[in-house]
């Protein structure tokens, strides 16, 4: 189970980006893959805000790169990220598996929990920005 003081929403996390924060362009994300991204949210933060971006053609989903079970990143480096494109993403610490479509727990030590979604807005030119909560 997640720690009892675990935030329930992405915007409650330290260094959470403000709505309107530029993320990247969709064309920078490999189609059919999960991509880790660290956002520098300023304010003298020692650590960036870590996202997972999942691209399926024109659709891009974003989740906080944070396992709900331990509160740690699902992976520390892109090469360590465990995913089945279009199917699932797994924590490489304890192998809990989350659905690609909505971040919900699929198997492992995450029952009743899921990845925290981060809403995105995609402009006509493909720019991704953080949407209002």
**What's the CATH code of the domain at 102?**
2.102.10.10
Count of domains for the chain:
1
Q: Using one digit for the tens of pLDDT, what is the confidence trace for 14-29?
A: 889 999 999 999 999 9
Task: Tell whether 106 is covered by a domain.
Answer: yes
Does position 55 have pLDDT exceeding 50, yes or no? yes
Domain assignment of residue 25, yes or no: no
Q: Is residue 37 part of a domain?
A: no
119 burial type by CB count under 10 A (0-12 exposed, 13-18 middle, 19+ buried) = middle
> What domain range is 95 assigned to?
1-12+49-133
List, for residues 71-111, the tens digit of each pLDDT value. Answer: 889 998 999 999 999 999 999 988 999 999 999 999 988 88
Residue 4's pLDDT is 43
23 within some domain: no
pTM: 0.90
117 falls within a domain: yes
């Amino acid at each position: 189970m997640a720690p009892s003081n675990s935030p329930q929403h992405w915007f409650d996390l330290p260094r959470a980006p403000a709505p309107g924060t530029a993320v990247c362009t969709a064309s920078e994300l490999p189609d059919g893959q999960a991509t880790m991204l660290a956002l520098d949210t300023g304010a003298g933060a020692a650590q960036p805000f870590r996202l997972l971006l999942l691209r399926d053609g024109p659709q891009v989903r974003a989740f906080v790169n944070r396992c709900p079970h331990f509160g740690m990143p699902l992976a520390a480096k892109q090469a360590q990220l465990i995913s089945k494109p279009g199917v699932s993403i797994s924590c490489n610490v304890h192998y809990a598996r989350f659905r690609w479509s909505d971040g919900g727990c699929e198997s492992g030590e995450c029952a009743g929990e899921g990845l925290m979604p981060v809403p995105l807005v995609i402009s006509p030119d493909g720019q991704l920005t953080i949407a209002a909560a």
